[in-house]
Amino acid sequence: MMKLLKLITAAALIISAAAALYMLRTARPELFRKKTLMEKEHPVCALGVAEPPGAVPAGKAGIRNVYVNWKTSFPEAEVRAIRASGAIPMITWEPYLDDIARDALLPDINAGKYDAYISSFAGRSQGGRLFLRFGHEPNSDWYGWSGAKTSPVLYVKAFRRVRELFLKGNKETAFIFSVNSKDVPGTGWNRFENYYPGDDYADVIGIDAFNWGTGAKGWQSWATPRQMLTPAYLRALKAFPSKPVFLTETASCGQGGDKAQWITELLDSIGKPFPAVKAVVWFNYDKECDWTLSSDGMRRNFYGACGSGRFECSDKSLEWIFTGKP
């Protein structure tokens, strides 16, 4: 009888352990897979910031972003100032003229209507390294270049044409394929993988991911950095294992939790569950909600990560992306 009880107890323990392992695999799938090349290489991560034009920099950054539409010439003065600060400029090049939600320029880009503009823009960009983020978040439904308003095929064709023309004028440019962390609409044809222009055209994978908190949108809830990023991160690693990942836009609303602590949690997670993330760019705008680093504690928690050993705030930290040397 005792022997039978011991067997039953042992079996119960095995079943319990198996169930716990299954639950852990479900909750933390990143712990149960082989690391990709980019998760093993280049552990240093850069901090960056996207701020309104004319904003006074609150701290040193490795990347500074500028938003430019397609009736604007190359922002030479802003880019010179960014380079002088020791950062690499990142231009988010939004293919619209007047109406960001309705202008549909992809067919005209593919037909060659904007070839001269692209070439001129590239020529004026010379003088240093540059990240070019063309047509971000194509897997959305809120931009004129979104797949919901055009198609993945048109987007891929336009991305390739822009890159080919641009690199004739400036070979010191790295192109970022930047997607929204969630597909909107969440249908199979609109998965962000379908917009990928190919390994020869994208140098970096960008993910835009936000914690909306509980105040900006009624259907949203507070999300930790891991909850916010894990699904998109794992998809990106599976689809693009040889490419570095940037958080090209990220921020948190303040309602629903401690925003300053959230920033600390975000930066602490880079290099652990998300080692392929090589740069974090804070979206420092008061837009759908107050995404900004609006308190001393928030700014200290973000910019204070520089010099910690894992984070860099200079153009040198991302040099390998442009040289191609692992």
Q: Hey, which of 134-148, 285-299, 306-320 has the most confident mean pLDDT?
A: 134-148
First to last CA, the chain: 63
pLDDT at 260 (0 to 100): 95
For the stretch 23-49, pLDDT in tens is 666 666 656 657 777 887 777 788 999
- From residue 164, give the alpha-carbon distance in Å to each of 11, 76, 79, 118: 62, 22, 22, 10
Q: Do residues 95 and 70 lie in contact, with contact meaning Cβ atoms separated by under 8 Å?
A: yes
Q: Do residues 268 and 279 lie in contact, with contact meaning Cβ atoms separated by under 8 Å?
A: no
Short-list 67, 65, 71, 31, CA closest to 46: 65
H-run or E-run covering 235: helix 225-239
Q: Is residue 282 part of a domain?
A: yes
Rounded mean pLDDT, 245-255? 95
Q: Is residue 10 part of a domain?
A: no
127 Ramachandran zone, left/alpha/beta (phi>0; psi -120 to 50): left
Question: Cis link prior to 138 (omega < 30° from 0)?
Answer: no
Q: Is residue 147 part of a domain?
A: yes
* Rounded Cα–Cα distance for residues 204 and 220 (Å): 29
- Please indicate whether residue 49 or residue 17 has the higher confidence score (pLDDT): 49
Q: Is residue 38 part of a domain?
A: no
Short-list 125, 247, 252, 234, CA closest to 178: 247
pLDDT, mean over the chain: 89
Interior/surface letters 88-99, b for 16+ CB within 10 angstroms, e for the rest: bbbbbbbbbeee
* CATH number of the domain residue 109 falls in: 3.20.20.80
pLDDT at 133 (0 to 100): 98
pLDDT at 12 (0 to 100): 62
**246 lies in which domain range?**
46-323
Q: Is residue 230 part of a domain?
A: yes
Q: Is residue 3 part of a domain?
A: no
Q: Do residues 303 and 60 lie in contact, with contact meaning Cβ atoms separated by under 8 Å?
A: yes
Number of domains in the chain: 1
For the stretch 160-198, pLDDT in tens is 999 999 999 999 999 999 999 999 999 999 999 999 999
